[in-house]
Structure 1
Amino acid sequence: MYLYNKRKISELLNTVQALKDIITDDTDDSFSCPYDKLIICSEELPSQEFLAIIKPAMYQTEDDETHYRYRLVYELFSVQWKQMNPKAATTSIMLNPWKHRLTPAAVLKIIDFVIGSHHFAYVVKSDDKVDYLHTVTSEELSKCLFVGYQKKPPTNYMMLDQTFLYGKSKGQQVKNYDKAEEQGISDITWTRVEKTRKIRDKNARLTVFQFLFDDRSDALKNMLVVDTGRFSGRDKIIRRIKKYGTFQAAYMSLNAQEKRKLRNHEAFKNPKMNLFEAFRTDLDIWLSTSPILRLMKTNLDAVEKSWNNQDISYRTDMKVNPICSEYKPITTSLIGFNKVYSPTRSNHFSEHVIPLY
């Protein structure tokens, strides 16, 4: 296996202007992003330009903790390539848009830098999140958090009242946890709700560009912070919360008729927070940090609509240059291209690129 010295990698990659622009970007302090982590895969190997830059930091080791022959960890991303498991993707890139304050344009720019074009990269895992900042602890939130699609009570991890797990890690697990504790911060209350979504069906995976502008109707769906203050002390649900410790466990203890009645209560109809709506608001704010990219998507949608499905084969081949005006292009060669270009098509469309910036 080949690893890359982290100190040397930082020295090498910190000289790349495209990455320097991202690191030094003076993003507003109110930066909001609904994604804690993204795992992006591709059947393409890293570009020769990328490999040439990082080569001086490479060394061989017997470490076999991953299923890839090459593994690199850098401040803004980590990447693995040349899989040893034939079922795995050729290249896997891990990004944390929230932690590293990456705009949508920066996400695409990093992928373009690593593999040459984001058009051949797909999102296979996302950690969707909403921060419930400075208002309630994770334990307090567990007493009013409802996860509609989970059928079992949550697990109080190590009985510390800091992390509550809804569902199994192999499924669409939800975590309600003390983010301040995780970050080593002791003087604030900071609770996060996070849902991990893995797209196992390869045919269901969206390209990164498609994912960024997907309506994400699956994200934190049927998840509410129920306004338990609307219940009276005589209501059964309150007694059950005191008995079982969490709202989810109390709800699961009710029979079908009691559950239906509860869902029609004002505490459900007017919750303290609808986490799906909160996620969508954060997503909209995050997308607004790359306005030119958003304009590209709007114009591309208009072009596709004008075709009226008359030439499906051509429509699916169209590519869009992703680099927004807030960033300088890495290189003029980093634009989308079509691997199966047909010479019978008009030369007017030979590049298959819509330059909308």
Structure 2
Amino acid sequence: MYIYPTNRTQSVMETQPVIQNILGRQKVEPFYCPYDKLVLAADSCPDSSFIRLIRPARIWIDDDDFYYRHKFLHTLFSVCWGQMNPDAATTSIMINPWKHQLTPDDIMQLVELVMGSIHSVKIASFDEKTDLLRSMNAEETAKRLYVGYQRKPPEDYEQLGQTYYYGSRSGQQVKNYDKAEEQGKHDQTWTRIERTRRIRDKVSRATLKDFLYNERQDAFKHTVLVDIDKIDGRTKIQRLLKATGSFQEAFMNLDAAEKRKLKRHEIFACPSVDLGSLFRTELDRWMSLSPKLYSVFKTYALFRECWSGKSGYGQLDHQLDWSNLQSGTATLTTSQRVVMDSYSGKWNYGSYGNSFSCIPCIEQS
């Protein structure tokens, strides 16, 4: 196989404006980004201009165990192409937005650099994450964290009380771990919760743009940080919690009727921390780093509902030109008009003949 090692690719990539821009930026602390890793897939090879650019960095090694014939490694991203398995994607791109402080624009530009276009690139898997700062450590989090679709108690990796796994890596695994320890910040309490999402059905995979515009109402679905302090000490679940050491395992020891009853309790309705809400707040801050994309992000869900007819205001039967929307205006033929008031943040609907105008007047924070 051909490998393009980091120590050789740095020099060939340093002439690219997007690389210069990212590496030349000053790092900020903290950097808000809700994604720890993205794996993108395409059914075509990288663009010929990218292959010509990196060819001087390649070397041949004997390795028949790898899944691809080419493996490109760079500080900011990696690319594999020429799959051995016909069921695998032709090209796979791995990017870690949080680690390298990449904005949504950065991701799109890196993908465009590799593939020549972003339109055929889809999301194969991603790690959604949220951080608990100055509140509870990994062990305390593991005691409270409930993952509804997992059927095994959390696994304490190497029994150190620092990393806990819920489920296997091949599935929709959740883990919580001591991020402060990993980052060498031993004087801080910093716990990270991550959930891996794999989309094996190629038809169900979202394009990169659709993924970025998604407000992710499904983030950390069925993953609850239960407020165990609200549990009555005389109840069965509290006794099981003391015996097992984790709410996940205690809940597993209840019968079906007890589980249904407990899920109606306020410990589920009012969790210690709303992980989904925390994720979406961070997502909003991250998307705002790319103003043009952010304007679409704030209106995308509404227009998708309009197109599907679910909004109650009629179905838009023409496709909106999102490139125009990003620049501030978009026009198409329909009987509905939607305008967002930049001060109240509310949507106004009305019928204005056959002209549709959208002005995404979203106040930047």
Q: How high is the TM-score relative to the length of structure 2?
A: 0.80
Unaligned runs of 5+ in 2: 308-313, 328-359, 361-365
Amino acid at match of 1:113: L
Q: How is 1:12-161 mapped onto 2 (pairs within 5 angstroms)?
A: 12-26=12-26, 28-161=28-161
For 1:236 and 1:100, the matched residues in 2 are separated by 46
Given residue 138 of structure 2, which amino acid in structure 1 is its aligned partner? S
Code of the aligned partner of 1:197:
R
SS in 1 for 2:119: helix
Match of 2:261 in 1: 261
Please tell me the residue identity of whatever aligns with 1:260: R
Distance 2:111 2:59 in 1: 23
CA distance in 2, matches of 1:309, 1:26: 43
Q: Which amino acid aligns with 2:106?
A: A
Displacement, 1:216? 2.3
- Kept in 2, the 8 Å contact 1:36–1:99? The answer is yes
Between 1:140-149 and 1:26-35, the stretch displaced more is 26-35
Q: How many angstroms apart in 1 are the aligned matches of 2:5 and 2:185?
A: 29
Q: Match for 1:233: what amino acid?
A: G
Q: Decide whether the 8 Å contact of 2:123 with 2:205 is kept in 1.
A: yes
What SS class does the counterpart of residue 72 from structure 1 fall into? strand
Q: 1:7 to 1:321 in 2, by over 3 A?
A: farther
> Kindly tell me: are residues 202 and 15 of structure 1, through their superposed partners in 2, closer, same or farther at Cα, counting changes over 3 Å?
same
Between the two proteins, the alignment pairs up a number of residues equal to 321
CA contact (8 A) 1:82 1:90 kept: yes
Whole-Å separation in 2 of the counterparts to 1:277 and 1:34: 11
Displacement of 1:167 after TM fit? 1.9
Identity %: 44
Q: CA deviation at 1:153?
A: 2.1
Deviation at 1:25, TM superposition (A): 2.7
The Cα shift of 1:28 comes to 4.5
Matches within 5 A, 1:238-249: 238-249=238-249
What letter is aligned with 1:254?
A: L
Q: Which residue of 2 aligns with 1:173?
A: 173
What amino acid is the match of 1:101? Q
Is the 2:213–2:300 Cα contact (8 Å) retained in structure 1? no
Q: Which of structures 1 and 2 has the larger relative contact order (alpha carbons within 8 angstroms, sep 6+)?
A: 1
Q: Which moved more, 1:183-192 or 1:166-175?
A: 183-192
**C-alpha displacement at 1:301, in angstroms?**
8.1
Aligned to 1:191: 191
Q: CA deviation at 1:201?
A: 0.4
Give, as a single letter, the amino acid of the residue that structure 2 aligns with 1:283: L
Alignment-derived partner of residue 218 in structure 1: 218
Contact 2:214 2:301 in 1 (8 A): no
Please state how far the C-alpha of 1:108 moved relative to its aligned partner: 0.4
CA contact (8 A) 1:105 1:322 kept: no
Structure 1 residues not aligned, in runs of 5+ = 325-355
* Map of 1:203 onto structure 2: 203
The residue type equivalent to 1:99 in the other structure is K
